[in-house]
Amino acid sequence: MTTTERDVLEVARESGMTVLLDDRIGRQEYMSVSGSAEALHRFALAMRETPTDACHRVRAARSVAMNPLITVRMRERIASVLSRRMQGRTRGKLRA
């Protein structure tokens, strides 16, 4: 069983659900989870609030420190905004 599967089962337990080991065949474990509708609701809310590994990977990919391409694009955007602002200021002075 992977760490993520263990985390999901732990959240289910903490939500008030019952987790039972039904069978084990080799290394594969088969589990049953049961509980009330209220426990299922608590489980769903807890899962929505729990960031997954995929979320961490997306954040890392968007991180300036982890992805130099992001830094380049940010610098290009800043330069274009500043350029437009400077052009707007010089046009205003020429009109006056």
0.85 surpassed by pTM: no
pLDDT digits (tens, 9 = 90+) for 4-28: 666 888 889 999 999 998 888 888 8
Whether 48 has a pLDDT exceeding 60, the answer reads yes
Tell me the pLDDT band of 35, cut-offs 50, 70 and 90: very high
Rounded to whole angstroms, how far apart are CA atoms 68 and 62? 10
Rounded to whole angstroms, how far apart are CA atoms 11 and 44? 9
Provide the residue count of the chain: 96
**In whole angstroms, how large is the CA radius of gyration of the chain?**
26
pLDDT at residue 3, rounded to an integer: 45
Q: Which of 12, 11, 47 is nearest to 33 (CA)?
A: 12
pLDDT at residue 34, rounded to an integer: 92
